């Protein structure tokens, strides 16, 4: 008995090592399934909650051009949430369960969305930095071993690059504008920089799941590798804007071929993860209100479709 289980696990690992994708109906270790349900649903929840801080600015966008762009971006994020929920559902969790986990606060989502978006420049910083960081993670995930997750990522990555570009363009306009506008951009960068580099999660030594995730090819790079990649690509972008990154220890390391950067305030990170961020409560409250207020629509649509089926049956009879 014991031996048989072991060999199934080994066979599974061999498939992964050969670079095969795992599909929904394939045998998989229970832990692989559970880890994926957790990770994919957290990812989906982040897309859904991520609409809130930006949705906040749609009606106050400074021009029609900015408004249609932001609206399209937020709509994309809803789509991303749906792709991911669909992928999670292939593993045997229902949409209602997923919603319940999010709305009850049981499920996590990216802590970055528990920071407030207080000025228009934040729409620039979020698109540039938050979507930028998400893209790095998501590009890696297009090669993840679970087929439905990988395919969702391919679709998402195609859509993300406009998100980052529209954010950067907002920053660029502000930085080329009046002094107060540039100051707004700098202020946004000051507030979003550290939370953005925290998005990649705890340091490798404090990330106990990394090893298993790498073995199963859920992740192909560690948190610290991804974070370094983000810093390296973002510093020159900040230079083009003429903004300074709020880290006095940030400097190019010739030997490593990478930027060195300062120590992250992990206490703040864990504090927000635990639910004590500025916006944790508000985000969940808004999410629950949206769900509750939509309930009658979902019920009515279902009642309508049931009635149509009945009518059709009567006509035939």
Residues lying near Fe ion in the complex (CB under 5 A) are found at 47, 77, 80, 131, 160, 163
Contacts of 314 (CB under 8 A, 6+ apart): none
Judged by beta carbon, residue 89 or residue 131, the one nearer another protein is 89
Q: Which residues of 107-129 are buried (b: 16+ CB within 10 A; e: fewer)?
A: bebbbbbbbebebbbbbbbbbbb
Among 83, 109, 113, 269, the residue binding another protein under the rule CB under 8 A is 83
Residues 20-59 vs another protein: string with x where CB under 8 A?
---x-xxx--------------------------------
- Residue 92 touches another protein, criterion: CB under 8 A: no
Among 47, 54, 89, 122, the residue binding another protein under the rule CB under 8 A is 89
CB of 56 to Fe ion, least distance (A): 15
Among 233, 278, 299, 310, the residue binding another protein under the rule CB under 8 A is 299
Among 31, 60, 285, 298, the residue binding another protein under the rule CB under 8 A is 298
CB of 71 to another protein, least distance (A): 12
- Cβ of 173: how many Cβ atoms within 10 Å? 16
Could you tell me if 22 and 146 are in contact, meaning their C-beta atoms sit under 8 angstroms apart? yes
Rounded CA separation 44/107 (Å): 11
- Residue 11 touches another protein, criterion: CB under 8 A: no
Rounded CA separation 210/115 (Å): 26
- Residue 3 touches another protein, criterion: CB under 8 A: no
- Residue 305 touches another protein, criterion: CB under 8 A: yes
For residue 47, the number of C-alpha atoms closer than 13 Å in the C-beta half-sphere is: 26
Q: Which candidate, 190, 145, 185, 140, places its Cα nearest to that of 160?
A: 140
- Residue 94 touches another protein, criterion: CB under 8 A: yes
Joined together, the tokens standing for residue 279 give 């916006």
Judged by beta carbon, residue 47 or residue 89, the one nearer Fe ion is 47
**Binding partner of residue 60 among another protein, Fe ion, none, CB cut-off 5 to 8 Å per kind:** none
- Residue 140 touches another protein, criterion: CB under 8 A: no
Rounded CA separation 284/268 (Å): 20
Could you tell me if 53 and 279 are in contact, meaning their C-beta atoms sit under 8 angstroms apart? yes
- Residue 8 touches another protein, criterion: CB under 8 A: no
Q: What is the DSSP letter of 259?
A: E
Q: What is the DSSP letter of 111?
A: G
Q: What is the DSSP letter of 237?
A: H
CB of 75 to another protein, least distance (A): 7
- Residue 95 touches another protein, criterion: CB under 8 A: yes
Could you tell me if 175 and 243 are in contact, meaning their C-beta atoms sit under 8 angstroms apart? yes
Q: Which residues are 258's β-sheet partners?
A: 253
Of 62-70, 81-89, 108-116, 276-284, the window that binds another protein (rule: CB under 8 A) is 81-89
Q: State the residues that interact with another protein by CB under 8 A.
A: 23, 25-27, 72, 75-76, 79, 82-83, 86, 89, 94-96, 151-152, 155, 159, 295, 298-299, 301-302, 304-305, 308
């Amino acid at each position: 008995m014991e031996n048989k289980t072991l060999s199934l696990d080994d066979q599974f690992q061999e498939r992964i090592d050969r670079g095969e994708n795992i599909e929904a109906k394939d045998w998989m270790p229970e832990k692989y399934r559970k880890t994926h349900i957790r990770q994919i649903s957290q990812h989906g929840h982040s897309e859904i909650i991520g609409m809130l801080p930006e949705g906040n600015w749609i009606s106050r966008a400074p021009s029609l051009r900015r408004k249609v762009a932001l609206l399209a971006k937020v709509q994309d994020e809803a789509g991303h949430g749906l792709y991911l929920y669909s992928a999670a559902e292939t593993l045997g969790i229902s949409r209602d369960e997923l919603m319940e986990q999010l709305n009850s606060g049981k499920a996590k989502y990216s802590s970055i969305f528990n920071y407030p978006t207080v000025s228009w420049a934040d729409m620039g910083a979020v698109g540039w930095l938050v979507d930028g960081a998400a893209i790095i993670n998501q590009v890696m995930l297009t090669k993840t071993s679970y087929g439905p997750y990988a395919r969702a990522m391919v679709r998402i990555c195609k859509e993300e690059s406009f998100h980052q570009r529209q954010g950067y363009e907002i920053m660029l306009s502000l930085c080329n504008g009046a002094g107060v506008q540039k100051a707004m951009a700098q202020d946004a960068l000051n507030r979003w920089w550290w939370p953005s580099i925290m998005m990649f999660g705890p340091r490798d030594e404090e990330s106990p799941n990394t090893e298993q995730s790498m073995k199963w090819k859920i992740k192909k790079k560690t948190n610290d590798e991804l974070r370094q990649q983000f810093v390296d690509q973002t510093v020159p972008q900040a230079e083009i804007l003429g903004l300074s990154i709020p880290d006095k220890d940030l400097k190019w390391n010739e030997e490593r071929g990478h930027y060195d950067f300062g120590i992250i305030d992990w206490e703040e990170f864990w504090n927000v993860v635990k639910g004590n961020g500025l916006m944790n409560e508000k985000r969940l409250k808004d999410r629950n209100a949206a769900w509750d207020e939509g309930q009658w629509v979902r019920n009515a649509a279902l009642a309508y479709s049931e009635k149509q089926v009945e009518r059709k049956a009567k006509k035939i009879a």
